[in-house]
Structure 1
Amino acid sequence: MKQTPLNIWSFLIRKQNQCVITTLKIINWVLLLAFSIQLICYAEQFHESRQWLNLHYYEKTGDGYLSLADSNQFFVSKNGRTNPEAEYIKALALSKKQDRDFREKFPLRYKIITQVNNLSYEPLVFPDPDIQDIQIVYPNQYLSNPASMFGHLFLLLRSKNGITDSTILHYVADTGDVGSLGYIPGGLTGKFEGRYLMEPYYKKIKQYNYVDDRQIIYYDLVLTKKSINNLQLHAIELKQTHFNYYFLNENCAFFIGKLLNVVLEEDVVSLKSLILPSQIVNTLHDKFLLSSEYHRKPGTQLFNDYYSNLNRSQRVDVIDLILKKTTNIPSDQNTLKSFLYISDYLINNYPRLTPVIRYNRIRAFKELRKQGDVNIRPSLQKQNEVSKIKSKKISLDYELYNRFSIYYSPVYYRDISSFNMLQTKEMDLLSSGVIIDSKVSPLYTLTLIDIINTSQYNKVLNAYSWRVNSFFAYKKKLLTDQSFESGFSYNIKNQSVVFGFLGFNYASYDQVKDEALNNLQLNPSMRVGVKQKVFDENTNWSVSYNYRYRHNYIALNLTHHGFKAIHQVSYSHGYDFDKIKLSTIIPF
């Protein structure tokens, strides 16, 4: 056959195509081989991965590791608590054998190992398909219980069948019969066992809603379906162990964060000296893992809002509904709502009132429904945006004309709902500062604890208010002021607060005049005054008569709660002193 230029050209093109195809095949095999080698290497080194270390709650200790899990049942190898590699080798062997006990007790480990090593996945345990999403829930500070003074944190596994079929997953300390006084030293030294527990939502939330009556904040977590399923599988694994509970760091917030570390792409918590529920929420916020925020207002606060606006006759009707069975139910909506808002709290805290309250509550609901008012129970209020929890503060004070102060508080919570100062819950811990005076040397201060628990007192809620303060200062010598006061606060039409307190100071330093006393003294204290709303619900003034450190004085304050700061102008007048001070508190 005669070779023409066209034939020669076609032949060269075919050869070139064959060469290209052969080259592509070689490249493909090289890439496949490289990928296979990489997988093998990854599988062999998987025990050093973040995922494996988080699965077993390993913490770095010098050159090695130690798991926070304090039970041998949580590991499948003899030295699994301190040896991630030995634990992985044994778990891999069990996965290859399709060991039944391993697959039942450690379903997430089994799932991950089979995926990493390309093994057959034959699960025996499955996640609940009805769980549609997960919320992280933050009941705020409960100052009547040291275990909850920073708040609590738990996960709500929400069922598509409704909230009553949902489950909560939380971490709690088993304190046994230890009371509040024994809890503090035991919690500080790790004497209690901590465990992850799953409980029906309706059962646990009853305590927060109607026994403690705390404000509760719900956040929607941004989780994939895979992460939701993996979290459920890991919860089964956690039944095999307990942990040592420490009040300040290895607490509910830390271990909820550690649980989320297992199913998230990046960690949200690591072990440090102080870990608070607000820190976990704020970290999730910063990583864009919270999509919505909801608040539940406490029933007692709703009751106070309504009850304070009732007239004398209406208040008598509310008390009658609490104490006496009646078929003659009042028709006034505000009276009935006041009764219903407080009814669950009273049933759960005063069992002797239960039969009467339940009897009258049925009739009160019927009367309101007859009037077309069916929205009675406190509901979740969706917020406009997801906000960070402000848990620290900086304070700046300027005293005319020669004194300036600055303070930093690493733990600070202030819960004021609009003007309702009767519901103030304020906690300030480990606040350090310096007072600079142009005439004398600086004074260095440390406030170990300053807690204000102010609640409304009325004929229904016999709530006491109290404040405890532990203050130290140093200027050439150590000075102190330890104080406690207790009393009552009365709400007048949600516009004014009348208050009275009695207490004592054990002090060598006068915090009113900012000067040292001649010696350490134990003195009584008294404070009586009124606080009044001004202009709007963010501004108020107060005037009080005070007796402290053996001298009398009058105090006037004007306070404005701004969006990012609290501003205050105060004037104190005593027999031998006058003081004007400008203050700014910046929570963050």
Structure 2
Amino acid sequence: MPSANFSADLPSEEAFENDIPLPAEKYRERAEREYLDFFEPKSKPERERLRILLSEIDSSKLFQSSHWMRLLRYRKSLLVGYHSEIVSDSYFLSAYGKVDPRKEMIASVRGLFLENNKNLDLSPQCIFPERYRWLRHALKIEISDQKIACNRLDVWKQNINLSKVKLVFASYYLQSPASLFGHTFLKLNNKSNLNSELLDYGIGYAAEPGEIDPLRYVLGGIFGGYTGKFSIFPYYAKINEYNDLENRDLWEYELSLDDLQKEILLGHLWEMGQAEFDYFFQRENCAYQILRVLEVVKDINLQSDTQMILTPIDLLKKVHAFGLVKDNSPVFRPSLYHRLENQITEMKEEEREQYFINLNEIDQKKEISLNQETDVRLVPVLIDSFQYRMTQRKLLETDDRYFRLLGKQSSLPIEAKKADEIKKEDPPESAHGSRRLSLGYGNASIGNFMEVESRLAYHDLLNVPKGMISTSEIQFFNLKVRKYEDNRPEITTFHLIKLASLSPYNGLSQKHSYLIDIGSQTLSFNHPEARKAVGNLDLLYGYSFAQEFSKGNSFGVISILGGLKAQTNSDFSYGMRFGPQAMLNYLYEWERFKFQWQYSYAYTSMSKNNNFFQNSLKLRYAIHVDHEIRLEYTTYPQYAETLVSYQYLF
């Protein structure tokens, strides 16, 4: 079943049986043609009633109400005054509605007096149900007064048949820039689907960049250029996409909403179908828009405007802090790979060896060799492995070997078919804060120094991995400022964006590793005190290795990467040095400690510049998930330093 986008209009025929979609273009045409700033009802009594309502709006300053500001997504700044985050004209009934809350409210009240026409679903009251519900309540208008029938809205609500609302978090997906922070959306539980929640619907917010290359996609997501929209989809489609295709765990949190708040939620989500926004990865993203929806539903300030970067983890922390989540534990839906990983880890050593022999036979398209001793344990996990390969499009769903395994499974004892219980991971809201401040003191080749570091987001390889991926790094706007003795403060390091995925390679996942670093750093030229800032770019690709399926002590994670290094400064030959680069990285964690060794070498003499190397040893001690002590030793050509620092994450 395809997903149905609100702005393509309301849900599709398949989603809502015989309900015929009404193109959104008709809404837009209506908004462009019929702004209501000067509309007057024909009858004198209605004109008098309108005059009384408009007078009450001005006398009470109702248009300054916090709920009205949230409904229309108004923000106020010193320079431009009010402006709405919504960029689509079809959301406004006044020609000045994007920048004037009063005129938009007056136009909305005028809309109460529009004469009924043949297509009532084009009426403002049917397009913006929550807006008009609230206006009736605030202006004490009788429910039956100026109330019309909205057939399409009613059919939509009947088909959703809402019982519960859940906030769903899809874990990090490092292969897609838009999902580096994870993803959040709402799940609408249907009263008729209590035993089959996969048939429920989800509503989420995402960018619509179209066909575009990855680099432009990242830059557009950071600096703007995409339109974001809400869309509705069957929940099982997201299970297939996230759990199976992208190997992402799902966490479901039931929200604490009463009946009125559920009604407000449905009405506001319906009218969000007319809204388009400017999309940004770091802030005006899925988490931000869902937080704004919940502010409308709960009529509270969830501090959506207080952070320069708002991530899905931040959203989860906020809904827990404000008591919006019910006390019952979240529902955990492990990914297909996570389930396989658990099954392989629970195997005995000889079973694991036989499994990888069989997995190789599957990949080589050979017949699978099983024996009676391992049949009971391996058949279920080999079936899951077939499904995993199918999601990777490495095997066809018509493979006869798959069906023979299914036949063999049917003859196994019932207890042999049961998968091992998967230990629930640390929930994502238990992760450390995404922002960081640190204070450090060190000694370098040119003297002692004090260092202050600030990071807007998100996680590095030494941070406590609780609720995160331990072999990942996602840093945005990381800035280090130092003051050496008898010198002015200087910016020594700036990471505009730094991404690393060092997931171990194994016969099942066959994952690769990569590192991307875009920013600047201060380096020594010719002698230690000749320090200058250089622009820096690292692009590396390779593999990482670990005892991923071992229950015992692991030797850590070893990564071998190769790629390109490029740096810019006017003192380099031709203003730039570049060349191939190799990197070794080692991570080892035990209890509260984590150790990292990293060595890189760039052959930049090909650009008629000196070659470059960097060697670093780092040790982290976690006082708490949000408090760390670090000890670091780093060497570059003609320069070395030691640093001890305190890290605070919030």
TM-score range, shorter chain: 0.7 to 0.9
Paired residues of 1:329 and 1:364 also in contact (CA < 8 A): no
The answer to whether the 8 A contact 2:206-2:286 is kept is: yes
The 5 A counterparts of 1:23-102 are 45-60=61-76, 65-95=82-112, 99=116, 100=120, 101-102=123-124
* Secondary structure of residue in 2 paired with 1:346: helix
Call closer, same or farther: CA 1:332–1:530 in 2, change over 3 Å. Answer: farther
Deviation, structure 1 residue 199? 0.8
**Structure 2 residue 186 is matched with structure 1 residue 152:** no
Please, which moves more after superposition, 324-333 or 189-198? Answer: 324-333
| Partner secondary structure for residue 187 of structure 2 | strand
Q: Does 1:276 align with 2:311?
A: yes
Shift of 1:410: 1.1
1:316 counterpart residue number: 357
Q: Which residue of 2 aligns with 1:10?
A: none
The one of 515, 523, 542 aligned to 1:487: 542
C-alpha change, 1:325 and 1:68, in structure 2 (3 Å) is: farther
Give the structure 1 partner of residue 19 of structure 2: none
Paired letter, 1:144: Q
Deviates more, 1:365-374 or 1:547-556: 547-556
Work out whether residues 309 and 457 of structure 2, in 8 Å CA contact, stay in contact via their aligned partners in 1.
no
Give the conservation status (yes or no) of the 8 Å contact 2:536–2:565.
yes
Look up the match of 1:409: 455
Shift of 1:520: 5.3
Distance 2:480 2:223 in 1: 28
CA-to-aligned-CA distance 1:376-435 (integer Å, 9 cap, x gap): 69697695x964652122345554684553322111225889799996111112111123
Which of 206, 230, 247 is the aligned partner of 1:172? 206
In the alignment, is residue 106 of structure 1 matched against residue 106 of structure 2? no
Shift of 1:560: 4.7
Check the 8 A contact 1:303/1:339 in 2, yes or no. no
Give how far 1:185 is off: 4.4
Structure 1 or 2: more strand by fraction? 1
Structure 2 match to 1:130: 161
In the alignment, the residues of structure 2 paired with residue 394 and residue 361 of structure 1 have an alpha-carbon distance, to the nearest angstrom, of 54
| 224 and 314 in structure 1: CA distance in 2 versus 1, 3 angstrom threshold | same
Structure 1 residues 172 and 72: CA distance shift in structure 2, 3 A:
same
Task: Please list, as runs of the form range in 1=range in 2, the aligned pairs for 1:260-275 lying within 5 A after superposition.
Answer: 260-268=294-302, 269-270=304-305, 274-275=309-310
Q: Aligned pair 1:290/2:363, yes or no?
A: no
Question: In structure 1, how many angstroms separate the alpha carbons of the residues matched to 2:338 and 2:442?
Answer: 36
Q: Structure 1: 5+ residue runs without aligned partners?
A: 1-35, 510-515
Distance 1:77 1:151, change over 3 A: same
Of residues 137, 142, 161 in structure 2, which corresponds to 1:119? Answer: 142
Of the three residues 463, 478, 483, the one matched with 2:511 is: 463
1:539 and 1:234 map into 2 onto residues whose CA distance is 47
Matched, 1:139 2:187: no
Deviates more, 1:543-552 or 1:463-472: 543-552
Q: Is 1:346 matched up with 2:407?
A: no
Q: 1:579, 1:85 → 2: CA distance?
A: 60
Q: Does 1:452 align with 2:452?
A: no
302 and 442 in structure 1: CA distance in 2 versus 1, 3 angstrom threshold: farther
The answer to whether the 8 Å contact 1:155/1:170 transfers is yes
- Counterpart for residue 24 of structure 2: none
Change (3 A) 1:53 1:212: same
Q: CA deviation at 1:214?
A: 2.4
Instruction: Tell whether the 8 Å contact from 2:380 to 2:417 is kept in structure 1 after alignment.
Output: no
Is the CA contact 1:213–1:345 (under 8 Å) kept in the aligned structure 2? no
What do residues 281-333 of structure 1 show as CA deviations (whole Å, max 9, x unaligned)? 33333322233545544443454465477543331123335545659587366
- Aligned residue for 2:243, secondary structure, equals helix
Q: Any conservation in 2 of the 1:422–1:456 contact (CA below 8 Å)?
A: no
Does structure 2 conserve the Cα–Cα contact (< 8 Å) formed by 1:296 and 1:381? no
- Structure 1 pair 387/102, CA: closer, same or farther in 2 (3 Å)? same
* Structure 1 contact 569–582 (Cα < 8 Å) conserved: yes
Q: 1:355 aligns with which of 398, 415, 422?
A: 398
Number of matched residues? Answer: 543
Q: What displacement does 1:264 show?
A: 1.7
Displacement, 1:226? 1.1
Query: Which string of whole-angstrom CA distances, capped at 9 and with x for unpartnered residues, describes residues 261-287 of structure 1?
Result: 221221322397544333333333332
* Partner Cα separation in structure 1 for residue 623 and residue 382 of structure 2: 34
Equivalent pair of 1:453/1:466 in contact (CA under 8 Å) = yes
Q: Does 1:235 align with 2:242?
A: no
Contact 2:455 2:479 survives alignment (8 Å): yes
The 8 Å contact of residues 194 and 244 in structure 1, kept in 2 or not, is answered as yes
Matched, 1:505 2:565: yes
Unaligned stretches of 5+ in structure 2? 1-51, 523-529, 604-610
Name the CA shift for 1:180/1:271 in 2 (closer, same or farther; >3 Å): farther
Relative to 1, partners in 2 of residues 1:45 and 1:440: Cα closer, same or farther, differing over 3 Å?
closer
Shift of 1:465: 0.8
Equivalent-residue separation in structure 2 for 1:572 and 1:477 (angstroms):
17
State whether residues 317 and 429 of structure 2, in contact with CA within 8 Å, keep that contact through their aligned partners in structure 1.
Answer: no
The Cα of 1:572 is off from its aligned counterpart by 6.5
Cα distance, 1:68–1:317 mapped onto 2, change above 3 Å = same
Distance 1:587 1:225, change over 3 A: same
The question of 1:393 aligning with 2:441 is answered no
- 3-state DSSP of counterpart to 2:90: helix
Whole-angstrom CA distance in 2 between matches of 1:407 and 1:252? 28
Correspondence for 1:525 among 581, 587, 590: 581
CA deviation after TM superposition for structure 1 residue 232, in Å: 0.8
2:337 aligned with 1:300, yes or no? yes
SS at match of 1:136: strand
**Relative to 1, partners in 2 of residues 1:250 and 1:471: Cα closer, same or farther, differing over 3 Å?**
closer
Q: Is the 8 A contact 2:430 2:467 kept in 1?
A: no
Across the aligned residues of Structure 1 and Structure 2, the Cα RMSD in angstroms comes to 4.3
Instruction: Give the 3 Å change call, closer, same or farther, for CA 525–333 of structure 1 in structure 2.
Output: farther
Instruction: Return the alpha-carbon distance in structure 2 between the equivalents of residues 306 and 560 of structure 1.
Output: 32
TM-score, length-normalised on structure 1? 0.77
Contact 1:368 1:374 in 2 (8 A): no
Amino acid at match of 2:199: D
3-state DSSP of counterpart to 1:198: strand
Residues 506 and 521 in structure 1, CA contact (< 8 A), matched pair in contact too: yes
Q: Distance in 2 between matches of 1:367 and 1:418?
A: 42
Matching residue's letter, 2:324 = L
Work out the CA distance in 2 between the residues paired with 1:361 and 1:251: 44
* Structure number with larger C-alpha Rg: 1
* 1:547 CA displacement: 3.8
Which residue of structure 1 aligns with residue 245 of structure 2?
211
Q: Does 1:428 align with 2:475?
A: yes
Letter in 2 for 1:486: Y
- For 2:505, the aligned partner's letter is Y
